[in-house]
Amino acid sequence: MAMTSQTSCSSMSNHTKERVTMAKVTLENFYSNLISQHEEREMRQQKLEKVMDQEGLGDEEKGLRRSEHARKETEFLRLKRTRLGLEDFESLKVIGRGAFGEVRLVQKKDTGHVYAMKILRKADMLEKEQVGHIRAERDILVEADSLWVVKMFYSFQDKMNLYLIMEFLPGGDMMTLLMKKDTLTEEATQFYIAETVLAIDSIHQMSFIHRDIKPDNLLLDSRGHVKLSDFGLCTGLKKAHRTEFYRNLNHSLPSDFTFQNMNSKRKAETWKRNRRQLVVFFIYLRPAAIPIEIKSIDDTSNFDEFPDSDILQPSVAPVSNHTEADLKSKDWVFINYTYKRFEGLTARGGIPSYMKTGKR
């Protein structure tokens, strides 16, 4: 019987094997999402109860809060089950183009809300074996509940295209800002480097690696704060992401990667994968302050000589307590000083000080 089973499996075509694998992954994701949704509902309920206890509300007021919470949960589930299509949105203009499609500014007809619609051509994705990349991008956008990541509100598909309805950020991207300003001030550079580090760290905490940090993928909201976008090369190394799609070994990661279970050394190694891109981004911002010398393509190998110290590690003493010689000897002093200067980075409601003074 075992030999018969092995023979039948080996006789299946690659197309059949792939469809079987996809069916298995689909079922796993479906039930995994059900469990996650139940856990999230329980966490929201527990959070509500904790807040009500802290506020010292009476039983009647608690009952009203619970009823309102239940109504919102029901509305949320209804929205998740809603079937949307291209006809539900009015296209306003094309705001970007890419290898697999385009991005349009659209308006939802029933609410009037404005979104960015990312349209991806299925045929091109299949031809270039990019399905795994698209799954990774969708997964992180679904799971991400972070101020540092562009939000995805809806997704749907037809026979030709996949549609991702994203948050529209009127500030544009960092590359456009650099083209306008050529070189940013030191204060602005520090601010954006610090926010980029925090944004990268936020997706690391979700067990994802971006792997494509560049000015084009750093969007700015209406107040000038950074949000990460374009997770096409991102991976969480789930089965559905199919690591064999990643042909470039420089983008490969260990198959047993789990961020939560890493020791400090492994976390530092994880940061190195984005540190190289972060330094290149810094050079974009401040070309007059290039921290490395590159005379030829071969010299890019010195990118591997960055210090092992974690760039997120705060200093033991305030920067003001260090001598000038101490500051120059610290590889992390630029990032560390930035953190000291912008301690309110996580409070994203305000406008950056350098923008108020017209230094941008």
Backbone angles phi, psi at 101, to 5 degrees: 165, -145
CB atoms within 10 A of CB 179: 11
Does domain 174-356 bear CATH number 1.10.510?
yes
Is there a contact between 352 and 191 (Cβ–Cβ < 8 Å)? Answer: yes
Q: What average pLDDT does range 165-194 have in this prediction? A: 85
Q: Say whether 118 counts as a known binding-site residue.
A: yes
Model pLDDT, residue 252: 38
Catalytic residue among 59, 158, 173, 212: 212
- What pTM, to 2 d.p., does this model score? 0.56
Whether 317 shows a pLDDT value over 70: the answer reads no
Q: Could you please report the per-residue DSSP string of 183-250? A: S--HHHHHHHHHHHHHHHHHHHTTT-B----SGGGEEE-TTS-EEE---TT-B---GGG-GGG---GG
Model pLDDT, residue 275: 55
First to last CA, the chain: 72
Give the residue, 22 or 312, on which the prediction is more confident.
22
Spatial CA neighbour of 239 closest among 156, 135, 155, 152? 135
CA distance 216 to 304: 24
Residues 6+ apart with CB under 8 A from 287: 183
Does domain 86-167 bear CATH number 3.30.200.20?
yes
201 is catalytic: no
Handedness of CA 260, 265, 268, 273 (dihedral sign): negative
Q: Kindly report which listed range (5-9, 141-145, 157-161, 216-220) carries the lowest average pLDDT score.
A: 5-9
Model pLDDT, residue 274: 54
Give the residue, 4 or 183, on which the prediction is more confident.
183
Q: Kindly report which listed range (107-116, 140-149, 230-239, 288-297) carries the lowest average pLDDT score.
A: 288-297
CA distance 85 to 120: 14
Kindly list the distances between the CA atom of residue 256 and the CA atoms of 3, 261, 266, in Å, as whole numbers in the listed order.
Answer: 31, 10, 12
Helical pair 186-204 and 264-285, crossing angle rounded to 10 deg: 150
Q: What average pLDDT does range 78-87 have in this prediction? A: 80
For residues 327, 202, 191 and 272, what is the CA-based torsion angle, rounded to 10 degrees?
40
Model pLDDT, residue 324: 40
Q: Kindly report which listed range (36-45, 88-97, 114-123, 348-357) carries the lowest average pLDDT score.
A: 348-357
pLDDT, one tens digit per residue, over 112-169 is 999 999 998 888 877 777 777 777 777 777 777 778 888 888 888 888 898 999 899 9
Backbone angles phi, psi at 87, to 5 degrees: -70, -15
Kindly list the distances between the CA atom of residue 96 and the CA atoms of 103, 165, 172, in Å, as whole numbers in the listed order.
Answer: 5, 14, 11
Whether 209 shows a pLDDT value over 90: the answer reads no
Q: How confident is the model at residue 304 (pLDDT cuts 50, 70, 90)?
A: low
Is there a contact between 135 and 235 (Cβ–Cβ < 8 Å)? Answer: no
Kindly list the distances between the CA atom of residue 269 and the CA atoms of 26, 303, 310, in Å, as whole numbers in the listed order.
Answer: 32, 14, 9
Model pLDDT, residue 234: 64
CB atoms within 10 A of CB 269: 14
Q: What average pLDDT does range 288-299 have in this prediction? A: 54
Structure tokens at 196: 């980029």
Q: What average pLDDT does range 237-261 have in this prediction? A: 41
When the pLDDT of each residue in the chain is averaged and rounded to a whole number, the result is 71
pLDDT, one tens digit per residue, over 322-350 is 444 443 344 444 445 444 555 445 455 55
Whether 357 shows a pLDDT value over 60: the answer reads no
